[in-house]
């Protein structure tokens, strides 16, 4: 059974999951993915960009960063 926050179903992951190595996107079946920062004492935008850079090293490319109530990054598998 999948978790309720399973990225296969939700199509998003948190910056903490990416930066802590808690998620493996090698088997992620979709081409696009949203990256959502988690509230921390550190800058949410800084954490978002750290995670984007880490994913770029793993064949993902940044499509856009959206800023509404929070920051979101949209990435595409290269």
Reduce the secondary structure of 8-56 to three states and give it as a string. Answer: HHHCEEEHHHHHCCCCCCCCCCCCEEEEECCCCCCCHHHHHHHHHHHHH
Res 31: pLDDT: 97
Query: What pLDDT is recorded for position 4?
Result: 56
At 17-29, the pLDDT tens digits run 999 999 999 999 9
CB 16 within 8 Å of CB 3? no
Q: Which of helix, strand or coil describes residue 7?
A: helix
Contact 55, 35 (CB under 8 A): yes
Q: Is the pLDDT of residue 1 over 60?
A: no
pLDDT band at 62 (very low <50, low <70, confident <90, very high): very high
CA distance 37 to 12: 10
* pLDDT of amino acid 40: 65
Q: Which residue has the higher pLDDT, 64 or 40?
A: 64
């Amino acid at each position: 059974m999948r978790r309720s926050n399973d990225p296969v179903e939700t199509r998003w992951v948190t910056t903490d999951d990416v930066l802590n190595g808690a998620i493996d996107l090698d088997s992620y079946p979709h081409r696009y993915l949203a990256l959502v920062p988690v509230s921390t004492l550190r800058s949410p935008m800084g954490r978002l960009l750290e995670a984007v850079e880490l994913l770029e090293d793993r064949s993902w490319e940044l499509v856009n960063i959206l800023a509404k109530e929070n920051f979101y990054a949209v990435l595409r598998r290269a």
